[in-house]
């Protein structure tokens, strides 16, 4: 499986293995184990990482945001034993989305000054591309956004 196929599947299903928005943090850490903490904050929200996968967790211990960084030379994900080549082209991502039957559209809010966004309406998955002055646009990141959740009030 190529990275573009995997990300098209994530965009279609809004899941990367046990990781998805609204997932219980206990369920996420049960599979690949404890992640590294990206920000040194003891107060929520807290950002954790597994290779190139970043997960934002709120006070209620639910996943609120999922991001796969793809701007690196290789992309490592906890759901796969091998690394993928990073920085796929926009054409390769679009082809993978089309092959998987995953409708997408240009996201005007994330398209400006050297950057272009594509969104999958069904899941709100967002692909952000770096658009160089010359050459092909390259995928910078893919994410599953927060769905507007608000943690219950602390007691």
Residue 71, pLDDT score: 94
What is residue 42's predicted lDDT score, i.e. its pLDDT? Answer: 67
Rounded mean pLDDT, 113-131: 95
Summarize the confidence of residues 141-155 as an average pLDDT.
Answer: 78
Tens-place pLDDT, residues 36-64: 666 666 666 778 888 899 998 887 788 88
Say how many C-beta atoms besides its own lie within 10 A of residue 106's C-beta.
10
State pLDDT tens for residues 1-34.
899 999 999 999 999 988 999 888 888 888 766 6
Query: What is the Cβ-side half-sphere exposure of residue 95, based on CA atoms within 13 angstroms?
Result: 8
Structure tokens at 132: 């160089």
Q: Other CB atoms closer than 10 Å to residue 107's CB: what's the count?
A: 17
d(CA 96, CA 119): 14
Closest by alpha carbon to 7, among 100, 130, 115, 136?
Answer: 100
Q: What is the pLDDT of residue 148?
A: 76
Whether residue 139 is predicted with pLDDT greater than 90 in this model: the reply is yes
19 C-beta neighbours (distance < 10 Å), count: 23
Query: What are the tens digits of pLDDT across the range 72-116?
Result: 999 999 888 889 999 999 999 999 999 999 999 999 999 888 999
Give pLDDT, residue 81.
85
Whole-number Cα distances in Å, 122 to 74, 81, 112:
28, 29, 23
As a whole number, mean pLDDT of residues 124-145 equals 95
Q: What is the model's pLDDT at position 95?
A: 98
Q: Over 80: is that where the pLDDT of 137 sits? A: yes
Q: Residues 14-18: contacts with CB within 8 Å, 24+ apart?
A: 14/123, 14/124, 14/125, 14/144, 16/53, 16/66, 16/68, 16/77, 16/79, 17/78, 17/79
């Amino acid at each position: 499986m190529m990275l573009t196929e995997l990300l098209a599947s994530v965009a279609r299903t809004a899941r990367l293995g046990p990781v998805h928005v609204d997932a219980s943090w206990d369920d996420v850490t049960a599979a690949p184990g404890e992640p590294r903490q990206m920000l040194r904050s003891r107060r929520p929200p807290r950002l954790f990482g597994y290779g190139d996968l970043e997960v934002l967790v709120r006070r209620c211990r639910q996943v609120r945001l999922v991001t796969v960084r793809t701007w690196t030379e290789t992309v490592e994900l906890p759901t796969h034993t091998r690394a993928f080549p990073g920085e796929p082209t926009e054409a390769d991502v679009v082809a993978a989305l089309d092959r998987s039957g995953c409708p997408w559209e240009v996201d005007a809010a994330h398209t400006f000054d050297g950057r272009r966004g594509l969104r999958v309406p069904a899941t709100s998955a967002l692909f952000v591309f770096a658009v160089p002055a010359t050459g092909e646009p390259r995928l910078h990141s893919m994410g599953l956004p927060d769905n507007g959740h608000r943690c219950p009030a602390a007691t």
